[in-house]
Structure 1
């Protein structure tokens, strides 16, 4: 599932201060939730100053993070102090050898210790995210569900998105739908449809007699574009209006060309919404989006 990592030159990245300014512009326009994602956001130098600054933005109601969990223990308390309420942890396997193979460098014990640590600190919500491939880690679906139940966590299964050209597996052969995963889970555990929504693409099912909800994010089989209200800003400052399209606006260029003029960034954001695509069209055999998820960020 992993692909070779290439880090961008620092000059191509937004500074942390620029990311704060962009965030302030979004909040001024009515955005109330910001999630920092990656790649892995916690490896960026001085990342805590970004969370602290975002947590101080007036009218921002929710600050969240998606992480691979490897650095949670060292950052958890400062994240909580900055106002982070929700943590999503990417976790595709509970088998140590398989986990290392899938992530190439990951240490499962380290990630599980991080999850346990933030769980004990009492964040408002901790959710696991898992991408399942038919011939790689489908054997981990039930163990992941039971782990979530035992630890009072939510869990979302995400259909693999065809972003970036890869050589390590055939996407068509590895694809497994959300429906197939639900049937697999329901062969051993009860699931009840839930009306709960976090405002995102997950469609949730409740595990009876537990606090755990199982979500399914289905960009292929159950297109959710009609309800999507999300946009992403990459580490380069590109405003990406859809993961499945290349529509983008360079906010970094605008902010650097117009220092001290947040209204210019706000106007660019408003205008960008006019070209937000109606939907995406994913095809496992035809990669139309060459960027990987870890270069998209959020």
Structure 2
């Protein structure tokens, strides 16, 4: 029984947040004091519970799982969790989104457990600015994690850079050069009005059109749209003519990509979020802990797809969608 939403989109991609904690405090993602300043953390799903939900999704046709956070590697036991889900028949790809601060320590174990590749959230290659954006991050440690990931075979590795006007937009060209030199695919992301943090930073929004023009001007070559979108998700990806380098732009505000959306999100607390920009969600933790059968869990997931909206409304409701924190949704 495949997962199909009301708009005939086949859901084949599940993003799984394992924690809403993070060792960094990027302004567009979470407040400076964190999401649990009082020190109390919501009860997370166990790895066995997460595995059971993922198994249900894979049985229903999901082919790709991305492990996210917060910062997933601040939760102990992620390599073991990967090893739990990697044998699932029908699961073609397991990816990780990370800030890479802890990746040097875990890269080999993650690869051996069955992780295929990693996306690195990195918004600056300047140590001082990187520390300011992340409110304390260590660029040297992140780049060591990047190297360890590449050496371990977590490829194709991608950099995700949120472009912020007046903050790091001057580094678009530096990121391109780094990607070409190190074989990393660089993806530039528009700021999105998700949660109070994201909404407050929309005055720094830097649009796709300007980003692509900067890339063209810098490389002096044409950008050729990629024909294969197997790893791309919502990104518009391009090859730089006469090179092996690729760049991408995720432009949720300039050009919503909702018509091809094939993904849903599971939060660390067991909430199935059907859209980043809408409130529609379904509680999976409660029925799971009340003893729901595997068959009924699958039926609940199938039924949940009826709530997936046709599109988000970032442009229309930029000041009215503060109901979620990006850090809790896993991006």
Shift of 1:194: 2.2
Matching of residue 218 in structure 1 with residue 251 in structure 2: yes
Q: 1:70 & 1:11 partners in 2: Cα distance? A: 24
Secondary structure class of the residue paired with 1:12: coil
1:232 aligns with 265
Q: 2:95 & 2:112 partners in 1: Cα distance? A: 13
Residues 244 and 289, structure 1, Cα contact 8 Å, conserved in 2 = no
1:185 aligns with 215
Normalising by the residue count of structure 1, what TM-score does the alignment of the two structures yield?
A: 0.94
1:62 aligns with 93
1:6 aligns with 35
Secondary structure class of the residue paired with 1:120: helix
Shift of 1:118: 1.3
Q: How does 1:245-256 map to 2 (within 5 A)?
A: 245-256=278-289
CA deviation map 1:198-246 (0-9, x unaligned): 3511111111233221111111111100000000000011101111111
Residues 111 and 153, structure 2, Cα contact 8 Å, conserved in 1 = no
1:93 to 1:275, Cα distance in 2 relative to 1, 3 A: same
Normalising by the residue count of structure 2, what TM-score does the alignment of the two structures yield?
A: 0.85
Secondary structure class of the residue paired with 2:65: strand
Residues 226 and 237, structure 2, Cα contact 8 Å, conserved in 1 = yes
Matching of residue 31 in structure 1 with residue 62 in structure 2: yes
Higher relative contact order (CA 8 A, sep 6+): 2
1:160 aligns with 191
2:201 aligns with 171
Residues 79 and 110, structure 2, Cα contact 8 Å, conserved in 1 = yes
RMSD over aligned CA atoms reads 1.8
Residues 193 and 202, structure 2, Cα contact 8 Å, conserved in 1 = no
1:267 aligns with 299
Secondary structure class of the residue paired with 1:89: strand
CA deviation map 1:245-298 (0-9, x unaligned): 110001111111125x11122111100111100000014751414211111127
Q: What is the aligned counterpart of 1:82 among 101, 108, 113?
A: 113
* More divergent stretch after superposition (47-56 vs 190-199): 190-199
Shift of 1:166: 3.1
Aligned residues: 296
Residues 241 and 248, structure 1, Cα contact 8 Å, conserved in 2 = yes
Structure 2: runs of 5+ lacking an equivalent: 1-25
Q: 1:164 & 1:40 partners in 2: Cα distance? A: 17
Q: How does 1:80-229 map to 2 (within 5 A)?
A: 80-166=111-197, 170-189=200-219, 190=221, 191-198=223-230, 200-229=233-262
Q: 1:257 & 1:170 partners in 2: Cα distance? A: 39
Structure 1: runs of 5+ lacking an equivalent: none
Shift of 1:9: 4.5
Q: 1:132 & 1:124 partners in 2: Cα distance? A: 23
Secondary structure class of the residue paired with 1:200: coil
Residues 92 and 99, structure 1, Cα contact 8 Å, conserved in 2 = yes
Shift of 1:173: 2.3
Secondary structure class of the residue paired with 1:130: strand
Q: 1:122 & 1:48 partners in 2: Cα distance? A: 15
